[in-house]
Amino acid sequence: MIRISVDLPQRTYDVLVGRGAVTALAGLLPGGVRKVAIVTQPGIEVPLDPGVATTRVEIASGEQAKSIRSVEELCRDFARAGLSRHDAVVAVGGGVVSDVAGFASACYLRGIAYVNVATTLLAQVDAAVGGKTGVNLPEGKNLVGAFWQPAGVICDIETLASLPDREWASGRGEMAKCAFLERFPGEGRPGAALAEKDLAEQVAYCVSLKAAVVEEDEREGGRRMLLNYGHTLAHALEAVSLAGGPVDLRHGEAVAVGLMFAAQLARRMGRIDDERVGEHRAVLDAFGLRGDLPGGLQVDELVQYMARDKKARHDLTFVLDGPKGVEPVRGVALSDVVAVLEDMGCSR
């Protein structure tokens, strides 16, 4: 089993990666916990033994569950179960579960401990680690939330065995993002070679990358923005889907499209060349991902959602590749964004 520490000034915790990691759950709970609320979704069955009394609570499946109403319902469930400030929540599932249960944990009694047991590839390589919790609004993705670090994270590879193909693709979209980032200055970026590693090694690389970034910038004031590479367009695509638009993409699938868009935008701005754009295509190919936009999308709608991105300061802000590597770029010209979207098949 691989153990990765996330060392923060006020909360240090371990992420356990490997087969059978769920057996270590009790050791990740803070001392003094007497009750645990296990938050999960219908159909998710993972054998857990936290060593204390448990109450199982389910939220609905799908992105629609990422709502303020779900958080309210969970907090009421916690109250009915008699959870005190010294008890804990165990979130068992994918990114939706970790986001919603984590936010509810941050709110209930002004904050109680929670542990993430990530059962999807997407959650293991991204959502379960780093303490970003939150829910959606009709106006956009993840617009309401809190930074609330877990007490521990379990990434048991065995829980991924029954994942459908598209859930694998969703996780690989986040892995593809990590292929363009380096954990430590001067270490270099793995590129398509990341796709050739053993699954546990892939997950561990992504977790250790995120841990290094979060340790430096817990609240996304600087370097942590790099973890949003490909996400500005991805979140816009997901927002269109939530509004009933012509998009059927899982999160990581949308990130793959966003990575290709970001590469082409960076090339148009003179930040990278055609060869570097080709490297983006090669990474997506290595992970079996597509980078083309779905049909039927409108430029103005996508731009409207991208302007609401959390990185933006009343401008268009993107994380883009360049001579110094991937970095946030503010004040990107609308004309460049529109031109790239049109080149990718979007209409006005």
Q: What is the pLDDT of residue 348?
A: 82
pLDDT tier for residue 139 given thresholds of 50, 70 and 90: confident
Q: Does residue 185 carry a pLDDT above 90?
A: no
- Distance, CA of 97 to CA of 312 (rounded, Å): 27
| β-bridge pairing 35-40 and 88-93 | parallel
Annotated catalytic residue 251: yes
Distance (Å, whole) CA 332 – CA 233: 14
pLDDT (tens digit, 9 = 90+) per residue, 90-111? Answer: 999 999 999 999 999 999 999 9
- Quick check: 116 pLDDT over 90? yes
Looking at 66, 132, 172, 311, which residue is catalytic? Answer: 132
Average pLDDT over residues 274-291: 98
Q: Which one of the listed residues 177, 210, 267, 280 is annotated catalytic?
A: 210
The mean-pLDDT minimum among 161-175, 310-324, 334-348 falls in 310-324
- Residue 316 pLDDT class (50, 70, 90 cuts): very high
Is the pLDDT higher at 188 or at 73?
73
> Is 110 part of the annotated catalytic residue set?
yes
Q: What pLDDT, on the 0 to 100 scale, is given for residue 260?
A: 98
Of 66, 116, 228, 280, catalytic: 228
User: Is 69 among the residues known to form the active site?
Assistant: no
Q: What's the predicted TM-score (pTM) here?
A: 0.92
CA distances from 216 to 75, 153, 163, 184, 210 (A): 31, 19, 33, 11, 10
224 among known catalytic residues: yes
Choice among 66, 141, 172, 224 that is catalytic: 224
SS3 call for 217: coil
SS3 48: coil
Those residues whose C-beta lies under 8 Å from the C-beta of residue 35, and which sit 6 or more positions away, are 52, 53, 54, 55, 81, 82, 83, 84, 87, 88
What is the distance between the alpha carbons of residues 335 and 312, in angstroms, rounded to a whole number? 17
Which listed residue (174, 238, 253, 279) is catalytic? 174
Q: Measured between alpha carbons, how far is 297 from 172 in angstroms, rounded to an integer?
A: 24
Q: Domains (ranges, CATH) in the chain? A: 2-163 (3.40.50.1970), 223-343 (1.20.1090.10)
In the set 231, 250, 267, 280, the catalytic residue is 231
Respond yes or no: is residue 281 known to be catalytic.
no
177 catalytic residue (yes or no): no
The whole-angstrom separation of Cα 220 and Cα 329 is 15
- For 273, phi then psi, to 5°, come to -110, 180
Catalytic residue among 141, 235, 250, 280: 235
Out of 35, 251, 267, 280, which one is annotated catalytic?
251
